[in-house]
Amino acid sequence: MADTDGDVSVIRLPLDVTGRVLRRRVERLFGDCFRLRRAVQRQARSRVDAYWRDHINRKADPSAARKRYGLTRQALEAAAKAHLDAAPHLAGGCSKALGLHLADSVWTQVERHLFADASGRRHGRPKVGGWWEFARVPGRAKSHTKPRKWETFRLHGSVEAHRDAFQRGDGGFYQPRRMPQPHCAGSWWDYDGPLVVAMTGLGVGELVLPVRLPAAPSNQAHLDHHLGDPNRWHKIDLVRHRDPQQPGGWRYEAHLMVLVAPSVSPSAVRRRQAAPTGRRAGVDVNVSNVTVASHHHGDDLTVDRVAREADQKQAIAKEAKKRRDRQNALDRSRRANNPGQYQLSKAQKREQRRRNNAGLPAKTYTPAGPRQTRTDGKPVQAYRRDQLSRSYRRGRAAVARDAASTSRARRDRARHIAGDLVAAHGPNLVVEDTNLRAWARQWGRSLHAFAPGMLLAALDREARATADHNGVDGGVERASTRTTALSQHCLCGHRATKPLGQRTHHCPTCGLKGDRDAVSATLAAFVTVETGKPQTATLDLQAARAALQHPRTWTDLNRTTRHHKRTKGWQDGLSASTAHPPPHQPDAGRAVGRPPATAGSARQTPAQHPHQPSTSPHRAAGARAGTRTGRSPDDGTNAPPLRDIS
């Protein structure tokens, strides 16, 4: 049996189904599996409705009532077997092993509806999925105790034989546009050729799908890591994605689960090794930006901000307009092909009456009004029964493909930003325990555009991976806002209520001025909290006051106010800087490369705090002449306190 050590990763293997016969077989497999899954879903939903209507038996003994109505995993698996026995035409694309796994996926939905999760919430009534949302056929895991036991989808061959089969004389790795169909004279367990996904036990014969590996040299180490040891191959799911550029409109992949840790690039290993483990960082999450501040035992304050630039906002607005135009084109196409299912708009009705009164010939309209509905508000004809043109289907697939591509790009960007932040601030971070769902109700569009939740999740994963690599504790800990109130406190300990539209912090006690988010993130770096218990968070004001006595802390926080000079208020006013800082030489013994402060970087006056920077005319003029991402223009030695990361 393979030693898993709890490490699991998944690699996506593209499949070549360009052949018409092979593509039709795969389409039949998905079609038969969808029909079986839909039948089990309908049966499970009717059982759930009957269970909730039976108040007497449900209150007396819920477990017995669930067994009575067949709301168990075994009952749904038996229902799938009964459907397969009653429909022998499905045996050509769906075996009983696949039917059991499809029933298990339906039971997962039912289980989430019947039983509450850790937060006390239950999912809604189980739904019957549509054809376009059905994208995964689950496979069965490989047995690591019995040899040659792997039902449903199996991966055969080796990555070395795959490279040898498609290697040319110059040593390059080239795969043809149409992969050859492999054949095996004996058993597939004895096959040692290019990688293929095989499935036996179907009524129409075995299904063999060639695998197309990425040929780029940068991907070969990743492939060797996951495919080098066949004993660690565990499970395969067959997945499809809508792609109008592919024959048939679908792109197929095999998702292979491997009992091995995820692959890590050498650059990521070096970055995690160099991460400062002795720093303590705080994170302030906003609708439009994320600010991270860290210190090393109260000294060497570093503040970073993640926000969107003006050109990025313009690009996002351009993409949003493109999506709206595509959706409008799809809506016009649907209306033109189904004019009887829509009403005329008010303007079209007025024009029609005017033409009738003037005796003009009738005009054919593409209706622009609402859908024809019944008295209960439901459409007269279901949308799935509409007549759709071929261009409509291609356009719909293009919209789905672009949406998936945008989602992948945002996840990759969040991962890169998280890597840069952890490399600068270390793996120990604290963030306020906020409810992003409540924010979405008020700032839904801005929150979706910036996606701070995705960035926080990537930051937590990177922090934990960095901590594990260095053998220390780490991650993103959540602190309750009731016990800390970071946005209402100053580092000196003074508490003053600030409205949400006030984005600048100005303490009347000590005179500290700074960006509200930067001050909150700095305070979060002085919060102590037990792992997994946000309500135990406490703010160490004594350490925060000691850190305020350092000249660098006062000066750096004071300079953060330049990011909100033109903010109109409320959290939908987005910041306008995501540029990388200019390269600078790191100082010896410092975790983050920032030059030390000089004695002349601050001037003391009787009316000022001992570390408050001077506001003389020549300093103000020098500050106005500086850039957002360059060095401070006043002395030429201090690096900017906010390093914007894109």
* pLDDT at position 563: 55
The average confidence (pLDDT) of the chain is: 82
Phi, psi (degrees; rounded to nearest 5) at 141: -70, 150
CA angle 595–597–599, rounded 5-degree value: 145
Q: Quote the percentage of the chain above a pLDDT of 90.
A: 41
Measured between alpha carbons, how far is 296 from 492 in angstroms, rounded to an integer? 18
| Tokens encoding 17 | 């189904």
Is residue 590 scored above 60 in pLDDT?
Answer: no
Give residue-wise pLDDT tens across range 135-145. Answer: 999 998 888 88
Q: Is there a contact between 550 and 296 (Cβ–Cβ < 8 Å)?
A: no
pLDDT band at 37 (very low <50, low <70, confident <90, very high): very high
CA separation, residue 381 to residues 179, 339, 340 (Å): 44, 12, 10
CA separation, residue 568 to residues 149, 157, 565, 573 (Å): 65, 62, 9, 6
pLDDT band at 609 (very low <50, low <70, confident <90, very high): very low
* pLDDT at position 627: 29
Mean pLDDT for the stretch of residues 478-505:
86
CA dihedral 61, 64, 66, 69 (to 10 degrees): -120
* pLDDT at position 204: 78
Measured between alpha carbons, how far is 26 from 17 in angstroms, rounded to an integer? 8
Letter string b/e over residues 357-385, b meaning 16 or more CB atoms within 10 A of that residue's CB: eeeeeeeebebeeebeeeeeeeeeeeeee
Q: Is there a contact between 156 and 189 (Cβ–Cβ < 8 Å)?
A: yes
Residues 6+ apart with CB under 8 A from 228: 159
Measured between alpha carbons, how far is 641 from 613 in angstroms, rounded to an integer? 14
If you search the block for the tokens 């996926």, which residue do you land on?
105
Phi, psi (degrees; rounded to nearest 5) at 197: -105, 120
* pLDDT at position 645: 47
User: Is this structure's pTM higher than 0.85?
Assistant: no
E runs forming strands in 18-158? 136-137, 154-156
Is residue 494 scored above 70 in pLDDT?
Answer: yes
313-322, 522-531, 596-605: least confidently modelled range: 596-605
Give residue-wise pLDDT tens across range 556-571. Answer: 888 887 654 433 333 3
* pLDDT at position 50: 95
pLDDT band at 6 (very low <50, low <70, confident <90, very high): low
Give residue-wise pLDDT tens across range 367-425. Answer: 999 999 999 999 999 998 999 998 998 898 888 888 888 888 889 989 999 999 999 99
Alpha-helical segments (H) within 471-526? 481-484, 516-524
* pLDDT at position 642: 43
Is residue 585 scored above 50 in pLDDT?
Answer: no
More confidently predicted of 613 and 479: 479
What is the residue type of 178?
R
Measured between alpha carbons, how far is 425 from 282 in angstroms, rounded to an integer? 9
- Residues linked to residue 167 through DSSP beta bridges, in sequence order: 173
Mean pLDDT for the stretch of residues 208-235:
91
| Tokens encoding 564 | 């909100």
**From the centroid of its chain, how far is CA 554?**
37
* pLDDT at position 422: 93
Computed over its alpha carbons, how large is the radius of gyration of the chain? 31
Q: Quote the percentage of the chain above a pLDDT of 70.
A: 86
Length of the chain as a residue count: 646
Is residue 2 scored above 50 in pLDDT?
Answer: no
Q: Is there a contact between 304 and 645 (Cβ–Cβ < 8 Å)?
A: yes
| Tokens encoding 179 | 């992969």
Mean pLDDT for the stretch of residues 182-201:
85
Query: Residue 586 in 3-state DSSP?
Result: coil
CA dihedral 405, 407, 409, 413 (to 10 degrees): 180
pLDDT band at 69 (very low <50, low <70, confident <90, very high): very high
* pLDDT at position 634: 36
DSSP 416-482: HHHHHHHHHH-SEEEEE---HHHHHHHHHHHHHHH-HHHHHHHHHHHHHHHHHHHTS--EEEEE-HH
E runs forming strands in 461-616? 475-479, 504-506, 513-515, 527-530, 533-539
Measured between alpha carbons, how far is 36 from 92 in angstroms, rounded to an integer? 13
Is residue 65 scored above 70 in pLDDT?
Answer: yes
* pLDDT at position 565: 42
Q: Sign of dihedral through CA atoms 424, 427, 432, 437?
A: positive
Measured between alpha carbons, how far is 514 from 560 in angstroms, rounded to an integer? 5
| Beta strand pairing call for 642-644 and 299-306 | parallel
CB atoms within 10 A of CB 114: 17
pLDDT band at 641 (very low <50, low <70, confident <90, very high): very low
Please classify residue 63 by burial: count the beta carbons closer than 10 Å to its beta carbon, then call 0-12 exposed, 13-18 middle and 19+ buried.
Answer: exposed
Is residue 176 scored above 80 in pLDDT?
Answer: yes
| Tokens encoding 119 | 């937060």
In 3D space, the residue among 512, 425, 507 whose CA is nearest the CA of residue 462 turns out to be: 425
* pLDDT at position 16: 92
Is residue 584 scored above 70 in pLDDT?
Answer: no
Is residue 593 scored above 50 in pLDDT?
Answer: no
